[in-house]
Amino acid sequence: METALLTWFDVHGRELPWRRTRDPYAILVSEVMLQQTQVDRVVSRYIEWLERWPTAQALCNAPLGDVIRAWQGLGYNRRAVNLHRAAGQVARRGWPTDLTELPGVGRYTADAIACFAFGEPVLPVDTNVKRVLDRSGQSFGAGSAQALMDLGATVCLARVPRCGRCPLARACPSRGSRYEPLRRQGPFAGSFRERRSRALRLVATEPRALSELDRPAVDALQRDGLVEVADGLVRLAS
């Protein structure tokens, strides 16, 4: 099945900029950006980011406020803070043996960097890869990681998989199955996430009086290291 998968990938694999590099910093940036953010939204932002901060040292040297502003629109701004901290750790001490020691780097992201940057024989298992593994009941090596990701993202879909296009369908025990919709996150409009986002956008333009802002939202942003509050003013973290 692995041969069939890789043959399919040679024809149908997505052309993505982070697949043209082995630079662990560039791959870290891509993986953090891709967390719960659609690929199409990430591509241009990833390119812009690396043009502005091409190395971990360059990002480490950047003011945190600039990093947070550059992250706007990618969601979950806490990831920008962690990425900045991770770059600082790498710039000072190099890449750790255990990549999960980096701020914001969990098991999947660590395995992705190990596989795609350092060539280690570990298969990074994200949501798409896990879906293909669970449904097919097959095992695959690290060399199939990108193919599995694309198969899960474009063919082996969460609810109605496109089995007629799948290179694994012939031997797949789940062929023809349909699935219940997964529980979705609540709507953004009217949520506390929206309140946080609105407060952060205001502060990103210039320091604001705390009295003018949504206090619970500011408190949450402060806990996440995104803003600072001093003398009644709220400004981006520095």
State the Cα–Cα distance between residues 84 and 78, nearest whole angstrom: 10
Write out pLDDT tens, residues 11-66: 999 999 999 999 999 999 999 999 888 999 999 999 999 999 999 999 999 999 99
- Dig out the tokens for 167 from the structure: 């290179």
State the Cα–Cα distance between residues 196 and 175, nearest whole angstrom: 43
- Helix crossing, 78-93 with 24-34: angle to 10°? 170
∠94-62-69 over CA atoms, to 5°?
Answer: 125
Q: Which comes out higher in pLDDT, residue 207 or 190?
A: 207
Q: Which of 2, 15, 31, 212 is catalytic?
A: 31
Whether 185 has a pLDDT exceeding 70, the answer reads no
Active site residue 31: yes
- Dig out the tokens for 178 from the structure: 């349909």
User: For residue 153, what pLDDT is reported?
Assistant: 95
State the Cα–Cα distance between residues 50 and 56, nearest whole angstrom: 10
Please name the residues in contact with 89: beta carbons below 8 A apart, sequence gap of 6 or more.
96, 101, 102, 103
Give me the domains of the chain, ranges plus CATH numbers: 1-9+123-182 (1.10.1670.10), 23-116 (1.10.340.30), 192-236 (no CATH)
- Dig out the tokens for 90 from the structure: 């790498």
* Contact assessment for residue 84 and residue 64, using Cβ atoms and an 8 Å cutoff: yes
Whether 189 has a pLDDT exceeding 80, the answer reads no
Whether 183 has a pLDDT exceeding 90, the answer reads no
Mean pLDDT in residue range 190-204: 87
User: For residue 191, what pLDDT is reported?
Assistant: 86
